[in-house]
């Protein structure tokens, strides 16, 4: 899959089969995160891979919309050593999700609303922050399950805003001159 196609076809999937993600694909996913750029190349992250079903279930309890983590084949928790590094974490998370998508593995991020509990559950040092937990797995052939449907009830109809409503040239929200200048 070419890069543009990988980016624009990526959708969040929250319903997974029991099929494990092969070790070499997981390594590739983690490596895509590792190679991400970061402010001053500080690489402020540590990745905790969780695969034990009981631990995945427990982890899912730390976010209000993290139920999908319980059924993931694996979750990658992006732990930051500084709460100021969220932009870096976003880049890193998206790189991992795109590498997975390219390999046929679906994913969805989950916010940890009980962030301190998630940090201590993972055994991360104090002062560190769990920026996101990403579920990975193979999409369920029956399509979207109850967790997905619940998410879609909230997100329904949002789609993506048209480009013309969110991009402008030279000045914020300046309208683009038409080719005829009218």
Please identify, using beta-carbon distances, which residue of 160 and 171 lies nearer to ligand FMN. 160
| Residue with smallest beta-carbon separation from ligand FMN | 65
The least distance separating ligand FMN from the CB of residue 114, rounded to whole angstroms, comes to 12
Interior/surface letters 8-29, b for 16+ CB within 10 angstroms, e for the rest: eebebbbbbeeeebeeebbebb
Site residue total, ligand FMN (CB under 6 A): 13
Instruction: Evaluate whether 36 touches 98 at the Cβ level (below 8 Å).
Output: no
Provide the 10 A C-beta neighbour count for residue 164: 9
Exposure b/e, 110-141, CB count within 10 A at least 16 = b: bebeebeebbebbebeeebbbbbbbbbbbbbe
Q: Does 117 bind ligand FMN (CB under 6 A)?
A: no
Query: In this chain, which stretch among 15-23, 27-35, 65-73, 121-129 interacts with ligand FMN, using CB under 6 A?
Result: 65-73
- Binding of residue 11 to ligand FMN (CB under 6 A): yes
- The verdict on 65 binding ligand FMN (CB under 6 A) reads yes
Contact positions vs ligand FMN (CB under 6 A): 11-12, 14, 63, 65-66, 68, 108-111, 151, 155
């Amino acid at each position: 899959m070419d890069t543009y196609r990988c980016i624009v076809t990526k959708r969040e999937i929250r319903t997974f089969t029991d099929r494990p993600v092969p070790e070499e694909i997981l390594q590739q996913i983690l490596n895509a995160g590792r190679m991400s750029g970061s402010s001053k190349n500080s690489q402020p992250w540590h990745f905790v891979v969780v695969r034990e079903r009981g631990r995945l279930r427990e982890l899912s309890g730390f976010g209000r919309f993290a139920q999908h983590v319980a059924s993931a084949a694996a979750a990658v928790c992006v732990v930051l050593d500084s709460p100021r590094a969220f932009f870096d974490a976003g880049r890193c998370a998206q790189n991992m999700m795109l590498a997975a998508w390219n390999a046929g593995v679906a994913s969805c991020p989950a916010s940890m609303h009980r962030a301190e509990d998630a940090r201590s559950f993972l055994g991360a040092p104090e002062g560190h922050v769990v920026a996101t937990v990403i579920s990975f797995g193979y999409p369920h052939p029956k399509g979207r399950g109850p967790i997905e449907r619940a998410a879609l009830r909230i997100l329904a109809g949002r789609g993506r805003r048209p480009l013309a409503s969110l991009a402008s040239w030279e000045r914020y929200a300046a309208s683009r001159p038409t080719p005829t200048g009218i």
